Amino acid sequence: AVPMSDMNMASLVAHVKNAVRQTPVLGIPLVLVSLCLLAAAIVLAPFAAPLAIAYFFLNRSSEESGAKVASLSSGTKTGVTAVPKTPVTTTTVPLSTATSSKDTTAPAETAPPAPAPLTGSAALMAKMRKSGAVTGEKRAATGADTSVSTKASATKASAPPTIVDNNTDSRFFILYGGEASTQIARDLSDKAVANGFAPRLFAMDDFKQCDLCQTPCTAIFVVETIENAQPAEAAGTCLRFFNRKRKSGEKDSLRGVLTYAVLGLGDTNLLLDRQTTTAKDCNQAAQTLDSALLFLGAEKLVTRGECNDAAGLEQAFEPWCKTLFPALAKALSSDGADAASTKNDGADTNAAIQTASIDAPASSPSIKFLYGSQTGNASEICVSMAAEAAGAKGFANVTCNSMNEKDVTDCLAPGNILVFVVSSTGDGDAPDNCDMFFTRLKRAAKAKTGGSVGVGTQYTVLGLGDQNYTAFMAVPRAFSTFMEKAGATAFYPRGEADDTLGLYEYAEVWQDALWEPLRKAVDDAPAFKLDPVKMAQEAAAVKALAKAVVDEEKAAEKARKEMAKESAEAKVEMAKEVTTKDAVPSTVETATPQPVQTATPSKIEGIPALPACRTHVKWLDAGKETAVYPIGGSVAKGDDAAFTAASPFLARVSAKTRMTAPESDRRVLHVEFDLTGGNNNSIGGDTKSTGCNTNSSLDYQPGDSIGVLPMNDSSLVAKIAKRLNLDLTSVFTLDWAPGFEDSKSKPLPHVQPGSTVKQVLTHCIDLTSPVRKSQLRVFAEFCADDDAGKQVLLNLCSKSGKAAYAETIMSERPTLLEVLNLAPSCFGSDIQNTFGAFIDTTHQLQPRLYSITTAPECAPGKPCVAFSVVKHESPAGILRNGVATTWLDGFEVFPDHDGDEGTTKTVPVFIKKSHTFKPPADVTHPMLMIGPGTGVAPFRGFLQRRAKQLKELTDDKKLKEMGSTAKPGACVLFFGCRRRDEDFLYESDLTEFVEHGVLTNLVCAFSREQQEKRYVQHLIAEHAAEVAEIVKNETAQVFVCGDGGGMARDVHAALRNALVSDGGMDEQEAEALLVAMTKQGRYVRDIWS
């Protein structure tokens, strides 16, 4: 465009005048436009005047600033001399060191001098807006370092300034990677010098000149993360070097050589604006380097620092420096401070080190994430939470263990912070991997000094449960109760995640709100340690006050809701009247909702933090195998010995019968286990009738379950070993990885020392259940960077890959072999050193529980179970088989001990006692049982027990005790299956119970014998009067057993509706009655998925 000059303007005016002369009418609109412009100018003048004045002063200030820059570039400011970079060394010393020398003025022909560096937050924020993917060499070529460039450099290129290294004997390095990290490293160097140290600055590209892997040294890495959670190019070489060493398994190669700290730089706004990842991943490069160095045995000075420009770099940088220098002083003073001290001022430096040690803050409080998990959900959530705490959230001294791996007394030490993640089993029992911890916690809380044993400890609890179970949240609530009794202080309210509403969705919300209370708990921990009683009292007072405020708010909210409800009801009534009188047919068509389309995103968001790998493998010589599998035996050891999941009884399968028709696609088995011989005693419930020892842990009662420890399929085991390039006969033992040695237990108790690869893959780890996201995250870490499968695994474990995880993992349910094959390089290099991480991240093979279908009066020492052999086709058409049921289906039967003891196969089993799911002790109490499918199994044992009770009731002595009017209560069973001639389980037994009066009514739903499917909930509605009469009885007991896919919810609704339709209650009263019965243990559900 050509700018308009005065000559152009004059020509334009003359042209307009000529046009008006020729056409006078054109003058009218021109006059009107001129008047409008004049009016607008008058209106806008008050606003435009201040802006014009401000512009004048800003322009003048800019000119003055330009003059100062010109002055600096011409060499008028002294104190810093620039030296051209030599091809031999690229190291620098801090600017503060250089400026302390005599003033010199740079000659005109030398490179332009660098300005004095900014300090504090100004320096930190100076260069974060540019990508760090530009190396020092590229900046020299492009003149990117504008802080030291001038206009004159456009005609003659010059290298960026480099400071002379005057501390060549120092073994204290500050290495920077990324454009912004250069300035921050200089600022960090200034602070180090001010604290009496003599650091040497190196670009991370030149890290090999520091000899970090051979000669003992201390290094601080300032690492920048850029787009796609990748390291800046200048940091990439160094980071990949150490990551390759970690992947190749060079564990402990840096132990005793390198002491280090990592400072990460990132910008969540930069990342989120480009929709590449979430906020917590803006320091992924620093996290990767930190993890690699820790694995290699390097000693960490302080917790990794993570600066986020979006929140303000100084918020993280300044506090991190305050923890760094005392730790640095302590490390250098113990390892020989002379190597890092200034030569000419040694006395002052040593004094500074001593002062820094005195002023050093107390070590970070211990934050223990502890889980109790039966099915793996609690451990998955806890491991992920701990990884984020130690990673993105920057907490120090974080550990994660199952509770049984920790000592209660150690955990309750003043100043400790505990985060419990614990699930609750159906009967309210603690999970197997926290049962000992839970028992000891109860004892500690109930002891005479119980109220003080936990004073000074801060804690919180996240509970996992399923409201279909009777003892919903029993264990998590018990943890809160006993921690309070022990005197501990809750720093964050207990969370309760319900599986019916989504465990992980709730846990994620609870976790997001955890971090601020946890930071406050960390800040308060020193005070809790110093004066635990005072702090606990103050916390209790604050809690009581907060509770009072909340109670008031709840009362006010309740009143508001009641008023709003009354008002809404009145409006509804009015609306109904209006609608009735003035109703007009609607002509608006409703759009048909379209199904949600899901697809794998092209960019990954929300990659979780990398969980710590706690174990490593120590390989043993051939023939050193000492482990024995399956675990267990025929004799329980010790005075109070019991057969448990950790020490099961090895039982024979003495009977096995198929109960479904041969043509049915369902295969339901009735299996009998022979427990006789345990502790050389028979098993039963009554010593008089059976001659059994009732003190044995193998005694069982109706309603109990039998636990089975299964084995993985041998062909799958062989394929996984081949995929991992492992010899099945190789022998190894597990040790704790660095940083976890303080644990008093052995790593992974389910893996015995001296096990073979075959034994561990067969008996110890789960190869077929859906892999957890934390496991996928670890698997991705052990993939080659150029393996496309790595991105697949990262996407599956990320937040943006939620739909892909649901489809690929939860729906398809691939085996561990199929997951490994998603990324060909996964654990493909040096598995000898990475097998420990593989075992640690893969969940334990869990025991399977089956309801016992017999009473000991009818089958002493030989409990029976019924189960469907699991076999289904995945959405991709792949046949999936259940682990335990398929294994048991293939067992050979030995009915009368006729098998050779050396060759007879045995099943590791234990008895799981039930506390609430058991038949009434009083036969006069009404009983309602609802058990479709294999859910009927435990009720067979209930009815066997009831038959014995009814027989005793005919005894004259019993009648006198109970009264002449005593009579048995109603006993009704609702059973459901497909067809009478296909899968009517225990038909002959149930028919006989009806004939003998044990069952007063047997109601069967055969879902496929008519056109419309009919289930047990439909028959409950048809028998509503009978059901309501039983449920309303104050002594009645209601039992529901079966698959919880929806049956339990539908049955509950049917019971409530029966009380409404035939029990004279409204819906709220009916629901309240069922809730009360649940709390009393009279409405009990045993549901599985």
Instruction: Report pLDDT for 343.
Output: 34
pLDDT at position 657 over 60: yes
Instruction: Report pLDDT for 927.
Output: 96
**CB count, 10 Å around CB of 574?**
10
Q: Residue type for 619, please?
A: W
In this prediction, residues 1061-1066 reach a mean pLDDT of 93
- DSSP-derived secondary structure letter, 753: T
Rounded Cα gap, residues 795 and 801, in angstroms: 5
Q: Each residue of 1000-1013: pLDDT tens digit?
A: 999 999 999 888 89
Phi, psi (5° rounding) for residue 560?
Answer: -65, -40
pLDDT at position 108 over 70: no
More confident residue, 617 or 81: 617
Global pTM value: 0.63
Rounded Cα gap, residues 94 and 679, in angstroms: 75
**CB count, 10 Å around CB of 214?**
10
Question: Do the beta carbons of residue 128 and residue 58 sit within 8 Å?
Answer: no
**CB count, 10 Å around CB of 720?**
21
Rounded Cα gap, residues 949 and 857, in angstroms: 11
Comparing CA positions, the residue from 431, 512, 491 lying closest to residue 464 is: 431
**What contacts 24+ positions apart, CB below 8 Å, involve 20-28?**
none
Secondary structure class of 258 (helix, strand, coil): strand
* E strand or H helix that includes residue 408: helix 408-411
Instruction: Report pLDDT for 462.
Output: 94
Split at pLDDT 50, 70, 90, the class of 498 is confident
User: 């923890």: which residue's tokens?
Assistant: 323
**CA distances (Å), origin 1066, targets 878, 1053, 1078:** 49, 13, 19
Structure tokens at 234: 């200048």
Q: Each residue of 939-980: pLDDT tens digit?
A: 999 999 999 999 887 765 555 565 556 689 999 999 999 999
Rounded Cα gap, residues 700 and 708, in angstroms: 15
pLDDT at position 143 over 50: no
Question: Do the beta carbons of residue 716 and residue 817 sit within 8 Å?
Answer: yes
Q: Each residue of 567-614: pLDDT tens digit?
A: 555 544 544 443 333 433 333 333 333 332 333 446 788 888 888 888
Rounded Cα gap, residues 887 and 891, in angstroms: 7
- DSSP-derived secondary structure letter, 25: G
Question: Do the beta carbons of residue 651 and residue 674 sit within 8 Å?
Answer: yes
Cα torsion angle, 558, 560, 563, 567, sign: negative
In this prediction, residues 166-189 reach a mean pLDDT of 84
SS (H, E, C) 365-406: CCEEEEEECCCCHHHHHHHHHHHHHHCCCCCCCEEEEEHHHC
In this prediction, residues 562-570 reach a mean pLDDT of 56
b/e per residue, 989-1000, with b = 16+ CB within 10 A? ebeebeeeebbb
Q: Each residue of 764-788: pLDDT tens digit?
A: 999 999 999 999 999 999 999 889 9
pLDDT at position 355 over 70: no
Q: Each residue of 825-873: pLDDT tens digit?
A: 999 888 999 999 999 999 999 999 999 999 999 999 999 999 999 998 9
